[in-house]
Amino acid sequence: MHEMGIALQIVDIATASIPPNLGDVRVAKVNLKVGKLAAVVPDSLRFCFSVATKDTPLDGAELVIEELPVLARCKECSTQWTITNPVFQCQTCNSGSLEILSGRELDIESIEIAEEDKNDSG
Ligand SMILES: [Zn+2]
């Protein structure tokens, strides 16, 4: 299980990406893109995230995980397709020489800062 390491990394990156001039802000939501080949269990990652965010600006933030399909391209005939089964072979020419175009991603797509309750109506 490597989800805890990933969760801690997300907290690090998200914390570092908060502009310092915003001061004491909280993160409301982290949008994450995870490729199917990244071998991340979303439920497990969400749990680790909730633990890893304790006492950080991300405490209570929602982790939105978008799973990306595995996209491959045949090096022989350039056919592109989404791999849905474990057979890594071109369906057009049966070549096993494939290039994985996407599916290993583990990217923070965006971070949403919580709106502050400002009372300075003036
Ligand atoms: Zn092919």
φ/ψ of 15, rounded to 5, equals -65, -40
User: Going from the N-terminus, what domains does the chain have, and what CATH number goes with each?
Assistant: 3-69+102-113 (3.30.2320.50)
Q: What is the pLDDT of residues 16-32, one digit of tens each?
A: 988 888 878 899 999 99
List the structure tokens of 38: 């990244």
Place of tokens 């006492």: 55
Mean confidence (pLDDT) of the chain: 90
Cα(102) to ligand 1 centroid in Å equals 17
pLDDT at 71 over 90: yes
Instruction: Give me the pLDDT at residue 88, please.
Output: 82
Q: How far is the first Cα of the chain from the last one, in angstroms, to the nearest whole number?
A: 51
Residue 42 Cα to ligand 1 midpoint, Å, equals: 32
Cα 67 to ligand 1 centroid, rounded to whole Å: 26
Average pLDDT of the residues in 76-103: 90
Q: Measured in angstroms, how far is the CA atom of residue 71 from the centroid of ligand 1?
A: 14
Q: Strand pairing partners for 81?
A: 72
Q: Report whether pLDDT(1) > 90.
A: no
Q: Tell me: pLDDT of 107 over 90.
A: yes
**pLDDT at residue 30, as a whole number:** 97
pLDDT of 64 reads 97
Q: Beta 70-74 vs 98-102: how paired, if at all?
A: antiparallel
Concatenating the DSSP letter of every residue in the chain gives: --HHHHHHHHHHHHHHHS-GGG-S--EEEEEEEEEGGG---HHHHHHHHHHHTTTSTTTT-EEEEEEEPEEEEETTT--EEEE-SS--S-TTT----EEEEES--EEEEEEEEPPP------
